[in-house]
Structure 1
Amino acid sequence: MFDSATSLRASKRMETARRIMRAANELTLAHGLDGWTMDDLAEASDVSRRTLFNYFPAKLDAVLGPLPTLEGEAIETFLAQGPTGELLEDCRVLAHRILDEEQYDRSQLELHRAVIVTNPRLLLEVHGRFEQVTASLVGHILQREGESFGADRAVILVRLMVALFDCSLGSLVPGAEAPAAPDRPLTELFDAALDTARELFA
């Protein structure tokens, strides 16, 4: 019963966070990043100002959401050469963990991309966040494989995984150049992109 209650609270918290993020994106698309206040966001997302700041301390956090994180058992297993013992396949498992937690919604993704591409300040922030995530993942790979693996190779691997992730996201957005079964889960689209890349480089 305790686990069920904990799961329900986590689900409600995630639902609230997504509602706030959607409202932040809608306000930014309509008025620009500087055209609304946190009070406006609290009203638009139907939460109190106090609740809003418990979720997101600033505008950029509300618009872009939290950085993807890999902690606990998932990263411990990866660092211990698991779960399969093959680096690329274990990177696939980590990617699944991120995608499963985010549970991307197609309409939210379309809105999010529209907001970012029309705001240079957000583009810069996204680039900075990408560099943070890249540095973290490169560190994990080198810790797992050893320094002899090479930082340059680790960077290439991370950037390849990010590119495949972006291709998968693109398949969900209407008007993509090569949509790939948009009704399929994002994890399946990512797997298809990774398998295609492996075939191309084989």
Structure 2
Amino acid sequence: MTKSATGREATSRRINRCALRLADEHGLDGFTMEDLAEAAGVSRRTLFNYFPGKVDAVLGHWKGLDAADVETFRAGGPHHDLMLDLRELVIPILGEKVDDRTRIAQARRVLRGNPRLLGAVHDRYEAVCAEVIDHIVAREGDGFPRADAQIAVAVLAGLLDVSLDAFLNDTSGRQFFDHFDHSLAAAARLLGS
């Protein structure tokens, strides 16, 4: 990674965190892009080079699926178990978004308090799900029902949500991925796989 890419990512994260804080404190409509630029310490022009509007600034950039991970997944790996391999494929998208209980709680408050943000998150979620479903069908072969791929993705999404709740309510200090792996193992046990 180049130094400029690292600097660009740091600026993007700073803007995103400031937008999230402002939305939490004032609501999405309670601050302007000028307010955000000032809070993030960037010019208005720089701000618009990163995000076209407040919704995108609050949600931040979402990483796409890694091409190498997709190739490994479509080839049947890395574990040769669909749900474990889905974990490996999808978890990197979350990246640092699950590193901080306070930030996750703040993001949930902001999202639940604003229908426009929920709609934007839903649109992003649908796009990622459609892509992952296509990869599952390609991996499993033409005879694999698309509905089964949709079920696998829905189960994974449900496990992520349960794991986030457990992580937010955890007082023992366990990390998100510990909760997610526990949820994945519990689902396998409960579903008999």
Give me the TM-score of the superposition, normalised by structure 2.
Answer: 0.88
The reply on whether 1:187 has 2:169 as its aligned counterpart is: no
Give the equivalent residue in structure 2 for 1:54. 49
Query: Which of residues 11, 14, 38 is equivalent to 1:43?
Result: 38
- Give me the whole-angstrom Cα distance separating, in 2, the residues matched to 1:87 and 1:180: 32
1:78–1:144: 8 Å Cα contact kept in structure 2? yes
Give the equivalent residue in structure 1 for 2:190. 200
2:19–2:57: 8 Å Cα contact kept in structure 1? yes
- Structure 1 residue runs without a partner (length 5+): none
**Greater mean alpha carbon deviation, residues 146-155 or residues 31-40:** 31-40
Give the equivalent residue in structure 1 for 2:163. 168
The reply on whether 1:113 has 2:103 as its aligned counterpart is: no
- Give me the whole-angstrom Cα distance separating, in 2, the residues matched to 1:145 and 1:12: 40
- Structure 2 residue runs without a partner (length 5+): none
Report the aligned-residue RMSD. 2.0
1:100–1:187: 8 Å Cα contact kept in structure 2? no
How far off is 1:75 after superposition?
0.9
Aligned length: 192
- Give me the whole-angstrom Cα distance separating, in 1, the residues matched to 2:158 and 2:9: 26
1:99–1:186: 8 Å Cα contact kept in structure 2? no
**Greater mean alpha carbon deviation, residues 122-131 or residues 100-109:** 100-109
1:143 maps to amino acid: A
Q: Residues 28 and 131 of structure 1: is their aligned pair in 2 closer, same or farther, counting only changes over 3 Å? A: same
Identity of aligned residues (%): 45
For residues 13-40 of structure 1, the C-alpha deviation after alignment (integer angstroms, 9 at most, x for no partner) is 3332222112112222232222222111
Give the equivalent residue in structure 2 for 1:134. 129
